[in-house]
């Protein structure tokens, strides 16, 4: 039996606790919020963020970070991306050398343009940091709906160890060495999902959604490869797969936020109505910083930033995207 500390008691942390205890592992959930811990102890359920997913009586809960980390084989970092650095910093004094940490948050830090695994490695340099990502809504994982994801690790040994822990008949796990590519796809798909949501809110149809998904993955791939990611990653589960599900599903908080903005709500109003952290909002500015740093053209993400932070009308953003200079779809394909 593997001892696992789940750092973060939101919907994703709760769903993974459900999965991992069903896999026969011993899980301790940590939350910094005493009321949240009290709720779990009384109901074995996150009634606010993942109602209906009841955790095993064997699941433990704590608001003490040291006890959450003590004697654990694996730590799952499941806090929202904007809290990853502060949480990792609070964990650092209690983390043993070589501790396996697997991050499931998706985002890029504004200002530093660092991915979540890079942040964790900077704050906890003695840890062995991996990532888990793919098309995987917590609402479906917690109900045992078949899901497929990817674990990215520095070594094949660590990847296979984590693969064995997470793998089940409803949760298929692939492994990859391309941590950077996985994280870039995971973070930037949230920004594209905001655009897809805006299109839905404006009343546009399937043609528009397909265009945003297809051209969105082109932007993500260009940047990811320029940064050192592998192009094959962006055609896989953590690239195209995650982008499709996030742009198409009402489980997606990024799409829901975009829909509200497309309907005329302000960013603050939309975030308040979604009632959860909208990761794409925090990744959007960082994506533009990376676009400029690596000299990569990212027109969709540029327009998303203008809508979110400059008050641009979403319908005008769509028109400007449609009327950009004429292009060849794929410049690497030669003419006869």
Pairwise CA distance, residues 136 & 238, whole Å: 10
d(CA 36, CA 10): 9
E-only strand ranges, the chain: 3-7, 26-30, 60-62, 74-77, 100-103, 128-133, 147-152, 171-176
Distance (Å) of CA 23 to CA 131, 134, 171, 237, 296? 19, 19, 10, 23, 43
189 is catalytic: yes
Q: Which of 189, 293, 319, 327 is catalytic?
A: 189
**Helix or strand or coil: residue 307?**
helix
Residue 175, phi then psi, degrees to nearest 5: -125, 155
How does DSSP assign 149-172, residue by residue? EEEE-SSHHHHHHHHHHH-BTTEE
The backbone torsions φ and ψ at residue 289, rounded to the nearest 5 degrees and listed phi first, read -60, -45
User: Which residue do the tokens 């109900």 mark?
Assistant: 143
For residues 129 and 271, give the distance between their C-alpha atoms in angstroms, rounded to a whole number. Answer: 30
**Residue pair 249/137 in contact by the 8 Å Cβ criterion:** yes
Residues in CB range of 304: below 8 A, 6 or more apart:
191, 192, 194, 195, 198, 280, 284, 317
When computed from its CA atoms, the radius of gyration of the chain, rounded to whole angstroms, is 20
Q: What are the C-alpha distances in Å from 45 to residues 6, 11, 112?
A: 15, 10, 36
Half-sphere exposure of 39 (CA within 13 A, CB side): 18
- Catalytic residues, by residue number, are 189
């Amino acid at each position: 039996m593997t001892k696992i500390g789940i750092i973060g008691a939101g919907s994703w942390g709760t769903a993974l606790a459900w999965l991992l205890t069903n896999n026969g592992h011993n899980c301790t959930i940590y939350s910094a919020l005493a009321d949240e811990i009290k709720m779990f102890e009384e109901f074995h359920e996150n009634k606010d963020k993942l109602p209906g997913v009841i955790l095993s009586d064997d699941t433990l809960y704590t608001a003490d970070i040291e006890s959450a980390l003590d004697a654990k084989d694996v730590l799952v970092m499941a806090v929202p991306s904007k809290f990853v650095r502060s949480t990792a910093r609070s964990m650092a004094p209690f983390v043993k050398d070589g501790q396996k940490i697997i991050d499931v948050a998706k985002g890029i830090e504004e200002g530093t343009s660092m991915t979540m695994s890079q942040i964790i490695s900077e704050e906890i340099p003695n840890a062995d940091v991996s990532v888990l990502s793919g098309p995987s809504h917590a609402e479906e994982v917690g109900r045992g709906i078949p899901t497929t994801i990817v674990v990215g690790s520095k070594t094949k040994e660590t990847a296979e160890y984590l693969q064995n822990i997470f793998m089940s008949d409803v949760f298929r796990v692939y492994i990859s060495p391309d941590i950077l590519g996985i994280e870039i796809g995971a973070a930037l798909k949230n920004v594209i999902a905001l655009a897809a949501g805006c299109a839905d809110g404006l009343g546009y149809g399937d043609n528009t959604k397909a265009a945003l998904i297809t051209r969105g993955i082109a932007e993500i791939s260009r940047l990811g490869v320029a940064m050192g990611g592998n192009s094959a990653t962006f055609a896989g589960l953590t690239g195209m797969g995650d982008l499709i599900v996030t742009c198409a599903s009402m489980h997606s908080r990024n799409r829901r936020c975009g829909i509200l903005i497309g309907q005329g709500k302000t960013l603050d109003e939309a975030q308040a109505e979604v009632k959860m952290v909208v990761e794409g909002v925090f990744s959007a500015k960082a994506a533009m910083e990376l676009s400029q740093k690596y000299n990569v053209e990212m027109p969709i993400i540029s327009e998303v930033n203008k809508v979110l932070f400059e008050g641009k009308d979403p319908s005008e953003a769509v028109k400007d995207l449609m009327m950009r200079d004429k292009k060849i779809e794929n410049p690497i394909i030669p003419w006869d």
